[in-house]
A and B are shown apart, each in its own frame.
Chain A
């Protein structure tokens, strides 16, 4: 009996030998490494290559049967979309530092870090550079990584983004997150690639998403940067020529041309510009809102603005604002609807398609401004930006690929196809 007692006591003591909590905090974060790209290198590496997989898709742009998908900082995927159920990857246009694009006729305008490049795309298999306006963009950002032009050295100071995993042993009881702190929410990945549907453009030009920073109107190409808008004269389509620069303030995100107006989304509000004189857009009004990221889509006398919280747009709200723009000089907020994390949106009146980021895609009926109804909520996909096409097809890009939906029945979208993103092990 004594022996048993002894043994049991011993085992208990043995167990208590080291009662140490084991807590490991693991975080995956973006690491930025400075990279220098010389202007010569940047200009020489423009070429057409064979089709490749989507890896980090950005904005989308469509014209006719073709669809362009931006590969963040790498170039453009050309997709033959004559059959939306079976899109075909045709070729890849390698453009270093590319994030935005616009097409008129057979000419594609794309940014390549500091340069604006014009391409002849009459043969998508052999896209040729036909013009280049040099050193017009001074800085920009992709995926949260800023780049800037260093004129004196003739190089672009860029940053490479890697996702790094790091584990540390923590004290288990730190509920309120000290040093790595900050409540900022990750949202940068797609900062550079929002989309807004430009539905009223002349037929000869393509259609962009609601997160676009490029817009075509009359004989001008409008590009918005972080704090200004630049105009390029494209009366000779092959030779875009810098025309003027308009200072807009700060935190400019998207541009949405509608009829003869320009709607510019910024982190603080929506600017409305009158574009009757395309050479000299004139500011009509600003619709102020809480600081948030906000693409804009417009139809007739209503503007739909999504506000979301995110890294650059911290303390933001997540909502959809319905704004009455009958009087462009005095836009009026009619009603706000709570959303989850809205990014790009597209209007196909009376329906609005809202991308909710990781929460999927929502179809709303906005026939009644004061009673916007949700018709459908597709989940299990990442939604970043949409373009509703006139043939009742909806293009939607997200971090996991390009989706196409048949929207003839808005309350029951039918998925036609998906071009998946190739996962890269990190």
Chain B
């Protein structure tokens, strides 16, 4: 499958190397669909296989970078071991992390979206006005329309930037409710209470 004659520089012009070149040059994650579209005559499933192949290559060759699945796409990123040196290259203080209220609010939105402000406030027990504004302005959440209830409240959902910010391949990469360690022991009792306020985090399956 190599086509060495066509490449004066000695490069190999098979699909695997084209995928590698595209991922190398792109400055944002590329989905398998995008890659298949750019290359032609391949399917997203084939791209997925090729990416896995490349990932194995990099791991075996102990490269300083790898291909990470972020926000539904693939991106070449350096391995975390080299972060300290790249921080030097960048010569800037690390950016601020999100505050605890912001993370809690995002967590609720991620599981309950689309969700109205009143529900966020009911779960957190505090006003989320300022936090929500910050999350909107940082592009981590967006308005997803209006709800049916009284006053047709605005509904919010997480954005693609949310996935990129946390390096998540998709929302399903977040822990499932049953994977959460329930700090309050005695799960049977919990079932007795017919935990029913919110299916996303409340389901009991053990």
Co-complex (A, B): no
Interface of B toward A, CB cutoff 8 Å? none
Interface of A toward B, CB cutoff 8 Å? none
